[in-house]
């Protein structure tokens, strides 16, 4: 029997608490039907730090079963996502959750499993338990996560990253995929598949890559490299030459490469590729230009190279991306 504990706190998302509970309810029903009389159901409770009800981001008042207690080894803890009030306020909110963060560390040391997603990944990251491991979060918070937690390998293209006893998920909706991971782990693939079909959870959706905005990394103090970045942004379709770019800014190619990587965390050519793919995405979304026309407009002449790069950066072919997000080309 798997025991799950949902952590409720002020301004968390109600769906992060309720949706996995609905999934576990359905999983239990399929388990009982398939294994009549066999123990193994999920049981769950909702806890808050004080044991008092909390008000969610949508102003829903949630009653809880009690305060934080030390849990039995093997218990599953679900940390919900929270509303995002903006960078500075969000950091204050994280600081205010120190009691939850310390409690999570103690429970992990007692062999518990912790699942979270979206902004909740920041709460788990604050424990330090993810240092040296991989994690994901909501695609639009990727750069902030990367800067705040440099010791964690961020896999922002993934919807769920499973590190055994630490599971992180992407944007809202990923909590269902994380819960399905637990269902499969404890009840098997058949029950997980039946539960997903019952609730129309798309288990084929495994990546956030199509939604990612490729980073522009301008939070640094190298003014010359900021000028280089601005130049690249304004000259997307120009042929790239590291030597010519360095000469334009009166430095050597070696110095440009060293300073650009130190400031931006990427090479000039890779950075330009990100800019070009972002421009291509916008053109696919807003215009009916053919793939060849888009390719030429952003500076590519070879269709196979462009298609491979676009697929690698977004997880979709140009055609699939247009069908999903943009204006179909007649």
Q: What is the pLDDT of residue 78?
A: 97
HSE-CB of 295 using CA atoms within 13 angstroms = 17
C-alpha distances in angstroms, 298 versus 28, 147, 243, 318? 52, 29, 21, 14
C-alpha distances in angstroms, 243 versus 111, 246, 250, 255? 55, 5, 10, 11
Is the pLDDT at 117 greater than 50? The verdict is yes
Mean pLDDT of 289-317: 88
- Model confidence pLDDT, tens digit, residues 255-265: 999 999 888 87
Comparison of pLDDT for 220 and 10, the residue scoring more? 10
Q: What is the pLDDT of residue 45?
A: 96
- Model confidence pLDDT, tens digit, residues 35-65: 887 877 899 999 999 999 999 999 999 999 9
Query: What average pLDDT does the structure give for the chain?
Result: 89
Contacts of 223 (CB under 8 A, 6+ apart): none
Token duo for residue 31? 């388990």
Is the pLDDT at 328 greater than 70? The verdict is no
Q: In the structure, what pLDDT confidence band is assigned to residue 162 with cuts at 50, 70 and 90?
A: very high
Backbone angles phi, psi at 120, to 5 degrees: -65, -25
- Model confidence pLDDT, tens digit, residues 172-201: 778 999 999 999 999 999 999 999 999 988
Is the pLDDT at 327 greater than 70? The verdict is no
**How far apart are alpha carbons 139 and 118 in whole angstroms?**
8
Residue 55 host element (H or E): strand 54-55
Token duo for residue 43? 């049981």
C-alpha distances in angstroms, 300 versus 115, 174, 244, 308? 42, 35, 18, 12
- Model confidence pLDDT, tens digit, residues 206-238: 666 556 565 666 767 889 999 999 999 889 888
Q: What is the pLDDT of residue 330?
A: 43
Asked if 7 and 80 count as a contact pair (C-beta separation under 8 A), the reply is yes
- Model confidence pLDDT, tens digit, residues 73-107: 999 999 999 988 877 888 899 999 999 999 999 99
Mean pLDDT comparison of 37-46, 109-118, 234-243, highest-scoring range: 109-118
- Model confidence pLDDT, tens digit, residues 270-285: 889 888 988 888 888 8
Q: What is the pLDDT of residue 122?
A: 96
**Residues shown for the chain:** 330
**How far apart are alpha carbons 266 and 249 in whole angstroms?**
18
Q: What is the pLDDT of residue 106?
A: 97
């Amino acid at each position: 029997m798997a025991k799950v504990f949902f952590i409720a706190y002020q301004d968390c998302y109600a769906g992060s608490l309720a949706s996995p509970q609905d999934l576990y309810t359905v999983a239990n029903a399929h388990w009982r039907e398939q294994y009549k009389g066999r123990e193994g159901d999920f049981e769950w409770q909702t806890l808050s730090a004080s044991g008092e009800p909390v008000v969610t981001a949508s102003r829903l008042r949630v009653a809880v079963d009690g305060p934080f207690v030390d849990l039995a080894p093997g218990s599953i803890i679900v940390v919900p996502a929270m509303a995002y009030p903006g960078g500075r306020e969000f950091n204050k909110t994280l600081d205010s959750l120190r009691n939850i963060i310390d409690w999570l560390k103690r429970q992990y040391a007692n062999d518990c499993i912790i699942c979270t997603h979206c902004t909740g990944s920041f709460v788990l990251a604050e424990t330090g338990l993810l240092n040296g491991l991989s994690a994901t979060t909501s695609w639009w918070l990727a750069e902030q996560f990367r800067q705040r937690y440099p010791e964690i390998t961020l896999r922002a293209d993934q919807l769920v990253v499973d590190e055994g006893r630490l599971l992180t998920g992407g944007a809202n909706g990923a909590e269902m995929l994380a819960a399905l991971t637990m269902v499969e782990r404890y009840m098997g693939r058949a029950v997980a598949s039946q539960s997903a079909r019952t609730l129309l959870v798309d288990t084929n959706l495994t990546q956030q890559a199509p939604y990612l905005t490729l980073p522009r990394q301008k939070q640094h103090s190298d003014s010359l490299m900021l000028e280089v970045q601005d130049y690249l942004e304004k000259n997307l379709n120009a042929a790239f030459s590291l030597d010519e770019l360095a000469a334009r800014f009166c430095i050597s190619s070696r110095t440009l490469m060293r300073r650009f990587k130190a400031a931006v965390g990427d090479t000039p050519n890779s950075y330009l590729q990100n800019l070009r793919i972002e421009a291509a995405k916008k053109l696919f979304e807003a215009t009916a230009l053919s793939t060849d026309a888009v390719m030429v407009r952003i500076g590519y002449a070879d269709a196979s190279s462009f298609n491979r790069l676009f697929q690698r950066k977004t997880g979709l072919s140009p055609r699939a991306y247009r069908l999903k997000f943009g204006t179909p080309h007649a």
